[in-house]
């Protein structure tokens, strides 16, 4: 499996943002060109790739998805294969995801299974969201799988750990951008201005009351304002302010309620501070909801494996646009332990590469069993 560690390191050096994965796409296409082509069909969609592997006696199509994009983060690791793209990093493990997918794909090309498989290399998971438009593309519609699965690396779990659960796994998420526009002026004459630093400060405090006072205590939600930008210099009252944040909920209904409350509070700020406001929800991701039957079947399969340990985990406030695929196609996602002291989206994230071999071995055994299972039953 050393080849796939090498592939991961190559991909790690060329992280690209959503729908800009040109080098990444070409790298994968170049690798696919080295495989026997008799049972392969390849389509591209924007910067993504769909690879159909024909089975020997198909009764269904098993889908496997790997995301491709990196993050706008300056890498702070000291690995010799660190990012060569300034200000870009595979800080969410998508380089691992792609290498594992190529490992499984290579196996089923050389060791055919009965059922067809569709490998989906999806761009723009981190934003603006590639899963939903890819699902709606003509290319994907022609090869829509009957079931689908994916994994996500988990730095908090040791290598050899597989963590998942049936039902809700990841939250509903939405980006949040709020622009406030008032009137700037000299710091000595505040009465002649409309100060957006004061307005933004008040708004942030009011937003933090939504979860505690408008969301059912038995439900869960998070509103985080991670960035506030306002002003130009210390003695000029700010004419503009911009809040950037995220909303996460465990139910679609809670997401809608939170957004309605945000909009009501922002309208109040407009009146109270005599300003204009604009809300943009940016990228919105649907919850990752694992199919109960398929997930339980997978968990039972994992429990019989000797080189991995199954953990029945709790749902997380993590966001993943794979949720859109699971909303239309039965399937599941699971966490893959990679044992790193630094978490997802951290500039020093350095996953343990031994997890690549663990995942490829587990998944090749699983898809071989699943892809031949129905034929054997008949």
State the average pLDDT over residues 18-36: 98
Q: Rounded to 10 degrees, what is the CA torsion of 102, 107, 109, 111? A: -170
Q: Is the pLDDT of residue 374 over 70?
A: no
Q: Supply the pLDDT for residue 341.
A: 95
Q: Supply the pLDDT for residue 283.
A: 85
User: pLDDT (tens digit, 9 = 90+) per residue, 362-371?
Assistant: 999 999 999 9
User: pLDDT (tens digit, 9 = 90+) per residue, 234-291?
Assistant: 999 999 999 999 999 999 999 999 999 999 999 999 999 999 999 999 988 999 999 9
The architecture that CATH gives domain 2-170+287-375 is 3-Layer(aba) Sandwich (3.40)
- 126 tagged catalytic: yes
- 95 tagged catalytic: no
Q: Is the pLDDT of residue 299 over 90?
A: yes
Choosing from 16, 21, 67, 125, the catalytic residue is: 67
State the average pLDDT over residues 174-193: 97
Q: Supply the pLDDT for residue 119.
A: 98
User: pLDDT (tens digit, 9 = 90+) per residue, 206-231?
Assistant: 999 999 999 999 889 999 999 999 99
* Residue 278 known to bind ligand: no
**Per-domain boundaries in the chain:** 2-170+287-375, 172-284
User: pLDDT (tens digit, 9 = 90+) per residue, 48-69?
Assistant: 999 999 999 999 999 999 999 9
CA proximity to 65, closest of 103, 119, 24: 119
Q: Is the pLDDT of residue 378 over 50?
A: no
- Residues in Cβ contact with 312 at an 8 Å cutoff, skipping those fewer than 6 apart: 163, 164, 165, 299
Q: Which residues of 179-212 are buried (b: 16+ CB within 10 A; e: fewer)?
A: bbbbebbeeeeeeebbbbbbbbeebbebbeebbe
Q: Rounded to 10 degrees, what is the CA torsion of 59, 289, 339, 96? A: 50
Q: Give, in order, the Cα–Cα distances in Å from 282 to each of 34, 110, 267, 279.
A: 39, 42, 19, 9
pTM across the whole model: 0.91
DSSP 256-325: HHHHHHHHHHHHHHHHHTT-EEEEE---EE--EEE-HHHHHHHHHHHHT-SS-EEEE---BS---THHHH
Q: Supply the pLDDT for residue 375.
A: 43
* Residue 345 known to bind ligand: yes
* Residue 152 known to bind ligand: yes
User: pLDDT (tens digit, 9 = 90+) per residue, 127-162?
Assistant: 899 999 999 999 999 999 999 999 999 999 999 999
Q: Supply the pLDDT for residue 27.
A: 98
Q: Is the pLDDT of residue 377 over 60?
A: no
288 and 323 Cβ atoms separated by less than 8 Å: yes
174 and 347 Cβ atoms separated by less than 8 Å: no
Range in 44-53, 188-197, 217-226, 326-335 with the lowest mean pLDDT: 217-226
Q: Is the pLDDT of residue 1 over 90?
A: no
Q: Supply the pLDDT for residue 97.
A: 98
Choosing from 69, 95, 125, 126, the catalytic residue is: 126
Evaluated on CA atoms 18, 21, 24, 29, the torsion sign reads positive
Structure tokens at 45: 């969609």
Q: Is the pLDDT of residue 164 over 50?
A: yes
Q: Supply the pLDDT for residue 373.
A: 75
State the average pLDDT over residues 3-19: 98
Q: Give, in order, the Cα–Cα distances in Å from 365 to each of 63, 94, 373.
A: 15, 22, 12
Q: Supply the pLDDT for residue 371.
A: 96
- Whether domain 172-284 has CATH 3.30.70.360: yes
98 and 153 Cβ atoms separated by less than 8 Å: no
- In this prediction, what percent of the chain has a pLDDT beyond 70? 98
């Amino acid at each position: 499996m050393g080849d796939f560690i090498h592939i991961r390191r190559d991909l790690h050096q060329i992280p690209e943002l959503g729908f800009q994965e040109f080098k990444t796409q070409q790298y994968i296409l170049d690798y696919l060109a080295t495989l026997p082509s008799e049972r392969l069909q390849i389509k591209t969609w924007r910067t993504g790739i769909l690879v159909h592997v024909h089975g020997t006696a198909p009764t269904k199509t098993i889908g496997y998805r790997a995301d491709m994009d990196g993050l706008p983060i300056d890498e702070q690791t000291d690995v010799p294969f660190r990012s060569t793209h300034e200000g870009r990093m595979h800080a969410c493990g998508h380089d691992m995801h792609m290498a594992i997918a190529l490992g499984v794909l290579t196996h089923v090309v050389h060791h055919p299974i009965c059922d067809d498989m569709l490998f989906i290399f999806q761009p723009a998971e981190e934003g603006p969201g590639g899963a939903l438009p890819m699902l709606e593309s003509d290319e994907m519609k022609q090869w829509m799988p009957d079931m689908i699965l994916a994994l996500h690396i988990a730095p908090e779990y040791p290598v050899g750990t597989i963590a998942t659960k049936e039902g809700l796994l990841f939250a509903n998420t939405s980006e949040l951008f709020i622009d406030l526009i008032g009137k700037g002026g000299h710091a000595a004459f505040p009465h002649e201005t409309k100060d957006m630093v004061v307005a933004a400060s008040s708004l942030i405090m009011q937003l933090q009351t939504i979860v505690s006072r408008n969301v059912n205590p038995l439900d869960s939600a998070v509103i985080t304002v991670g960035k506030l930008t306002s002003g130009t210099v210390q003695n000029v009252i700010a004419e503009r302010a911009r809040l950037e944040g995220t909303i996460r909920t465990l139910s679609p209904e809670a997401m809608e309620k939170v957004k309605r409350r945000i909009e009501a509070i922002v309208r109040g700020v407009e009146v109270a501070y005599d300003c204009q406001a604009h809300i943009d929800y940016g990228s919105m991701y649907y919850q990752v909801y694992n199919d109960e039957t398929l997930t339980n079947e997978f968990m039972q399969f994992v429990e019989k494996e000797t080189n991995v340990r199954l953990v029945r985990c709790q749902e997380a406030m993590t966001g993943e646009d794979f949720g859109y695929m699971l909303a239309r196609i039965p399937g599941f996602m699971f966490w893959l332990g990679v044992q790193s002291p630094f978490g997802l989206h951290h500039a020093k994230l350095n996953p343990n590469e031994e997890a690549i071999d663990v995942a490829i071995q587990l998944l090749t055994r699983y898809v071989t069993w699943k892809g031949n299972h129905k034929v054997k039953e008949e």
